[in-house]
Structure 1
């Protein structure tokens, strides 16, 4: 069975990467994703990541620390660009930041696992009956979702007939 997807959270000091990691662990089903927080660059976890989330600079920061925070953020962005890693920036305070991160995860999961991600990453974090979001930790051959199989088969058949 393949390993669960890896989500890397990167951020300058004081941008809330650790708090977001903790919140995502509470939202996602156990074992559905590996979440790494500020593992450093370059690192094997970052290179193999399914998704890199970079923390935005919108959280309150003391004026005396702002220049250092901005410099650290610029270094992270430059390092990611240098190694050719794409990333998404997550903004928002509290529940909004969690919802934005889940939306980014949902977008990646939907393109990777179209039928299994549908509805699982909708942010309803205000609800007392939260449903745990899940990323499938297996590939198509173990999926057995008829809609997914039909889409895949139809797409493959269309590609084959279109090329002859």
Structure 2
């Protein structure tokens, strides 16, 4: 049974570009498990048959007048993923960095050997401690980070 990986994101976040890069990478690195990549332009087509979903982060340049619509679309996609119960990771970066972020997020789904998975988890923990949040794709961590940024500072803090 092929793995189904869904790529989706708000307009202008590069889901199709990442799908093309992932397809080229997966074609160059043969695997015993076939992978189907699906780019969704509309979250209403989202279903629970996906092995994993990759949500494009809002880190690519966007004209200021389009940012509110892009942020609203991103919030709707996150809510739809949560409601559908689809596991997802947020992918950041440009070009090769975005592909590397996606491959890290898909490591377990693609059958990364356990030693590689342990090494990836250790490097991820080190990055989090070293404030490498732009490379983290954990939506819960991201939510915690941005929620904390919207709170007023504690009394006595500058």
TM tier relative to shorter chain: 0.5 to 0.7
Mapped to 2, the partners of 1:13 and 1:90 lie a distance apart of 15
| Structure 1 residue 65, shift from structure 2 partner | 0.7
* SS class of match (1:28): helix
Q: Distance in 2 between matches of 1:47 and 1:90?
A: 20
Query: Structure 1 segments of 4 or more deviating over 4 A?
Result: none
Say if 2:6 is the partner of 1:5. Answer: no
Where structure 2 has 5 or more consecutive residues not aligned to the other structure, the ranges are 121-158
| RCO comparison, higher one (Cα < 8 Å, 6+) | 1
RMSD: 2.5
* Corresponding residue number in structure 2 for 1:21: 19
State how many pairs are aligned. Answer: 114
TM normalised by structure 1 equals 0.62
How do 1:67-146 and structure 2 match up within 5 A? 67-110=68-111, 114=113
Shift of 1:114: 4.5
Aligned-pair CA distance for 1:39: 5.4
Aligned partners of 1:50 and 1:86: how far apart in 2?
Answer: 8
Larger Rg computed on CA atoms: 1
Counterpart-to-counterpart distance in 1, 2:17 and 2:9: 11
Structure 1: stretches of 5+ with no match in the other structure: 123-164
Partner of 2:130: none
**Structure 1 match to 2:134:** none
Q: 2:52 corresponds to which residue?
A: 51
Give the one of 37, 40, 43 matched to 2:39: 37
